[in-house]
């Protein structure tokens, strides 16, 4: 398959950057009262030898450090994508598609966008980043009434069973991600330290009963279930998820 275009792909690791670079970017300009709380969840540069230009090395905390440093870039890119999706050109394309599918556009054109974050919660990048990605998306949406309607679809380690024993190394990532996801679901606002991190990128969550850290609706997706359904492979799982969306 061809590589994604630069308009569709955002690298969070600048060319030539090391882990020390992104760690500093994630932790600088944070109020002194909260900086230690942020650093506590991010590995010290002296403990990390992962070449992050190639990914997070299957370490969730490394992935989280990279996303924490790039929240502002994600938010800015999401703003561009939202503007493109709501442009007259996009609506014209959607209308043409609806005509081909014989769907009435009278109600759908005025509907709010549906935003879906698709991620693994097994490897280091996916498990470490998906909550920050959802928060950056909400920051880009701003005060629009669909800000609290973000959906996530998250793949568990068994989707990657064809990797063999390497899957076992992914399980701790998923446990950590699920723990943070569950804790965030029951919060009406970020913790003060998380808020300090987000606010330096111009993101200020408004406490409300509708707020939860990350996506508002989370679907955890495995490769098979106890009812005998088995998608067989990563490709089968991706095809099924695409069809569901």
pLDDT of residue 25: 94
pLDDT of residue 167: 86
pLDDT of residue 101: 87
pLDDT tens by residue, 10-49? 999 998 999 999 999 999 999 899 999 999 989 999 999 9
CB 234 within 8 A of CB 157: no
pLDDT of residue 64: 96
**Which parts of the chain sit beneath pLDDT 50?**
none
pLDDT of residue 109: 55
* Neighbouring-strand partners of residue 120: 155
DSSP 13-38: S-TT--HHHHHHHHHTT--HHHHHHH
């Amino acid at each position: 398959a061809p590589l994604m275009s630069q308009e569709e792909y955002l690298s969070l690791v600048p060319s030539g950057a090391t882990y020390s670079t992104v760690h500093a970017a994630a932790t600088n300009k944070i109020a002194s009262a909260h900086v230690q709380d942020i650093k506590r969840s991010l590995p010290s540069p002296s403990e990390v030898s992962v070449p992050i230009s190639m990914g997070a090395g299957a370490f969730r905390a490394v992935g989280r450090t990279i996303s924490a440093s790039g929240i502002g870039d994600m938010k800015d890119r999401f703003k561009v994508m939202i503007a493109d999706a709501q442009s007259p050109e996009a609506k014209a394309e959607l209308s043409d598609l609806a005509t081909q599918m014989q769907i009435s556009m009278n109600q759908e054109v005025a509907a709010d966008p549906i935003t879906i974050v698709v991620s693994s919660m097994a490897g280091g990048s996916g498990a470490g980043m998906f909550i920050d990605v959802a928060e950056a998306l909400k920051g880009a949406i701003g005060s629009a009434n669909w800000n609290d309607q973000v959906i996530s679809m998250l793949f568990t380690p068994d989707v990657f069973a064809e990797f063999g024993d390497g899957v076992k190394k992914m399980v701790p990532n998923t446990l950590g991600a699920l723990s943070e996801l569950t804790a965030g679901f029951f919060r009406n606002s970020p913790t003060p330290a998380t808020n300090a991190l987000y606010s330096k990128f111009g993101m200020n969550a408004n406490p409300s009963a509708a707020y939860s850290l990350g996506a508002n609706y989370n679907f955890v997706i495995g490769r098979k279930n106890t009812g005998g359904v088995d998608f067989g492979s990563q490709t089968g799982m991706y095809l099924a998820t695409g069809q569901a969306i």
